[in-house]
Structure 1
Amino acid sequence: MTLWLLIRVTGFLAYFYFTWAVVAGLLRKSKVPQKRKNLLFHMHTNVGWYGLFTLIAHFLFVVADTYIDYSLLALLIPFTGDAMNVYLGLGIIASYLFVAVLCTSDVWLTKMNRTVWKWVHFMSLPAWLLALLHGLGIGTDTSRPLISLFYASSALLVIATLSYRMKKHATVVKVN
């Protein structure tokens, strides 16, 4: 397997896992039986960590690749690299947000107040959107029909789940 293929596969996998982590997290707070909430919680937590581990592999493969010779600085600081600067920067920001969400959820959860945790946790939605834009913009396979379908269906899934969640939490204000 070539390094270039490993970069693409780990990028897709990380995005796939983060998509399901977001969906499971949104569904967990909806009206589902407790048994399903426990399943959704474990899915949400586990696929989030799988996403982080594959994201780290994606990063390491990009560092090891010599075809586009990114400097370490360009891979760590958004918008400092030459090649595909904007989309690379969006991916870097998404990565930092996902790391923050996972660390505050499982590592530092007991050491922070709930309001801070909640605000950091909500960053998973912008992180997911930035990851989508990163993949669409920098991905060399985006023009392929199956890849386009993959991105479109994941976006529809997150939008539908978010809409469902927002509808369930909407309040009705009576105006006289």
Structure 2
Amino acid sequence: MDAAQLDAALWALGRGTGVVSLVALTLSIVLGVLTRSGRPLPGLPRFSITLLHRNLSLIACVFLVIHIVSLFFDSFAQLTLLDLVVPFFGNFLPFWQGLGTVAVDLLIAVMVTALLRNRLGLRTFRVVHWLVYAMWPVALAHGIGNGTDGTSPWFLWLAAVSVLLVVASVVWRVSSRFVEFSGLRVTGLPDPVLTISSRESR
């Protein structure tokens, strides 16, 4: 395989893993709303939703790492170590590439607080975890503006469906119908979310 073929293979790998990471992140956000509310999916207990949410988040991170590494070794992308942490200094479409760096920085902050959740406390974890809602549209804009397939009809349809899912879940989350366990709170029974969180923080 010559240098041109290797670059083409790395470029294709970078494109594919970027799309998979975005899809996994989108589904993780939607399931995160379901996990927070305590509403089970048909045929699945609530702990399964939590496990699926975490696994999708892990998949998004793994494919994101592959996405970054593959493009880092691609001579066409022209990425540097500085581009991986500092946005808007790249040689190729610096603004759109910089949005990807911003999304990665936000994701790192969320991952670190998730790993240090027991030490930082539940309140700090939840505040930083809200950065996911800022990271997702930034990552989506990066995919549209910087990706080779960003303006392709299939990708725009994928982006539209992703936006619809996330917006619908967020709107439902802030609506009055969001609280799933309100009846339990009225009767004085413990909230399963708070009970599990208190046990984890010990």
With the length of structure 1 as denominator, give the TM-score of the two structures: 0.89
- 1:81 aligned counterpart, secondary structure: coil
- 1:2 aligned counterpart, secondary structure: helix
Aligned pairs for 1:42-81 (under 5 A) are 42-81=51-90
Q: Aligned equivalents of 2:143 and 2:48: distance in 1?
A: 29
CA-to-partner distance for each residue in 1:123-144, whole Å, 9 max, x for gaps? 0110111101110110111222
- Give 1:31 deviation, angstroms: 5.1
Q: Is the 8 A contact 1:79 1:85 kept in 2?
A: yes
Aligned residues: 169
Q: Is the 8 A contact 1:52 1:99 kept in 2?
A: no
Identity %: 30
Q: Is the 8 A contact 1:75 1:81 kept in 2?
A: no
Aligned pairs for 1:11-160 (under 5 A) are 11-30=18-37, 32-33=39-40, 36-105=45-114, 107-160=115-168
Q: Aligned equivalents of 1:33 and 1:54: distance in 2?
A: 27
Q: Is the 8 A contact 1:3 1:61 kept in 2?
A: yes
* Partner in structure 1 of residue 183 of structure 2: none
Q: CA RMSD in A?
A: 1.8
Q: Is the 8 A contact 2:87 2:102 kept in 1?
A: yes
Q: Is the 8 A contact 1:15 1:131 kept in 2?
A: yes
CA-to-partner distance for each residue in 1:99-157, whole Å, 9 max, x for gaps? 2212322x211111222111110001101111011101101112221111111101110
- 2:148 aligned counterpart, secondary structure: coil
Q: Aligned equivalents of 2:40 and 2:95: distance in 1?
A: 43
- Give 1:76 deviation, angstroms: 2.4
Aligned pairs for 1:156-171 (under 5 A) are 156-167=164-175, 168-169=177-178
Gaps of 5+ in 2: 1-7, 180-202
**Structure number, greater radius of gyration:** 2
Gaps of 5+ in 1: 171-176
Which stretches of structure 1, 4 residues or longer, exceed 3 Å deviation after superposition?
33-36
With the length of structure 2 as denominator, give the TM-score of the two structures: 0.78
- Give 1:54 deviation, angstroms: 0.7
